A and B are shown apart, each in its own frame.
Chain A
Amino acid sequence: MSKTIYELVDDLPTDNVTVKVLKSLDFVVPGEWQNLVGFDNTIRTVTGETDEEMIQQIGDRAVWLYNDKSQGYQRAMWLYQTVDRFDSALAAAALANKVSNKIPLMGFINRITPNANKAQSLDLAFKLVVEVVAFCQINGIPGDSIGDFVASLAEYSGESLMRMVALVCIDGLLPLGPDFILNVQSVLDNLSPKELTDNSAFNQISNMIPGGSPSGQLDFIGNSFDSVKGWMSGFVTDHNLTPEKIFDSLQNFVEFSNDKLDYVAAFLDMTTNYYEHTGTQTLARRLIERAIAEI
């Protein structure tokens, strides 16, 4: 049986590579993210209530809401978990691709692994789409409402904002460089619906992506990226972000044996699950906010 919501929040790690990486990004949005773990602790922090009977009531209602499948919370959780699992597959493929570019004997891998940049670009695009869909599931806005999502981005704070910062830094700037937005755009522009359906990562989430058909879904992914790219490029400029800055800060938290940024990015993809980690925190917060209002 899958984990309960209180187990998922109770089991969030207090210190691992994911937490270290997120802490290293604190310099981008100082003080914005605290690693809030534990279900009771989250209830206390989000609501400011300390009465045990009150906490029990809030927790009970949150459990009920989470377990009602019609409410979309479980779908959102599944999306956050799944998108983090397939990026490690992409990263492994990307790493193999990097190695094969160096060692002629391994040239055959080029034929079976996706191009590293393409894999990373798709990884970023899929994560972004998952954020749009999960946002709508959690907050109750119709599934394809990209406009509402974009308007809400300005309101993103705490762990939600940190997730977007990590997306820009760890899945954008580090592996793809300062032109990551152009890179992703060009990959999406040249992607056919067939390539999309052939993509094993996409196949895992395809039944949750609006659009009706592969070509409609490709449009949805393109539109999602299109409407968020302005926010992303503005964010990079406003915070003066560069791959080197991010790498320097990362080195204060995690030791790397190789300073090649694309290797580091692939390593981070394989060892971190920041979408699942912060996604669980976002979902718990919204659930608890609704629960205290309904009791």
Chain B
Amino acid sequence: MNLRFRKVLLACLLAVMLLVSSCAQQPPSRYEQAQQESTSKGASAVVRESESGGSFNKFFPTATDGYERVYTQEKKGFAEAKLKKDGKEMAMLSISDTLNNPSANSKFEQSNQKIGGYPAVNQGSTGTAVLVADRFQVKVLSRDPSFTEGDRQLWLEKFDLNGLSRLQ
């Protein structure tokens, strides 16, 4: 009986340990789905047809009024510059090709505002974006509380949006 009891006890113990250890495992990350999809065969975050980042640079506004513009990233389908004032980071300026991320376009469907003649939206608490030629997203993101929504609109207008619309 003793042997049998021990066996049962051992089995119960193992079952409990299994349960405890599986409970102790971390829940799947909220990014698990993106991880799975982006590592599946043929997945890519950037498509060949997208414009080179370098081709966007000439449409960025030149810095005036004590601002300084510093280019920071230039990847396929994307270019970004930061806007500084007195050495402080005030905003990020960017142009991206939405061929690489078509879902970015959908937010403009509800747009009831135009900047420079192009549909514009506010996004999150720090961003304002326009969609040029249904393809290029131009975005200004505040990095300092003193850089307001009005400032973002002003700087979006300073981009050569019409020039950009003729890029494709």
**Partner-B contacts on A (CB < 8 A):** 4, 6-7, 39, 47-51, 54, 56, 59-61, 63-65, 67-68, 70-71, 138-141, 155, 286, 289-290, 292-295
Contact = CB atoms under 8 A, between A and B. Distances in A.
Nearest to B138: A293
Contact of B43 (A67, A71, A138): A67
Contacts of B70: 155
Q: Which of A7, A67, A286 has the most CB of B within 10 A?
A: A67
Given A39-B31, A49-B125, A139-B74, A68 B44 contact: yes
10 contacts: A39-B31, A49-B124, A50-B125, A64-B38, A67-B38, A68-B44, A71-B45, A139-B75, A294-B101, A295-B103
B29 interface: yes
Interface stretch (B4-12, B59-67, B92-100, B110-118): B92-100
Nearest to B107: A295
Interface string B123-143: 111110000000001010111
Q: Is the interface of A mostly helix, strand, loop or mixed?
A: helix
Interface residues of B, number: 40
A67 B73 contact: no
A292 B70 CA distance: 18
Nearest to B137: A294
Interface in B77-116: 78, 80, 92, 94, 96, 98, 100-101, 103-104
Nearest to B29: A6
B100 A294 contact: yes
Given A140-B75, A293-B94, A293-B139, A63 B127 contact: no
Contacts of B124: 47, 49, 51, 54, 292
Given A50-B125, A63-B38, A293-B78, A70 B31 contact: no
A56 B126 CA distance: 16
A4 B101 CA distance: 21
B73 A290 contact: yes
A286 B75 CA distance: 11
A58 B127 CA distance: 13
Contacts of A294: 78, 94, 96, 98, 100-101, 104, 137
B30 interface: yes
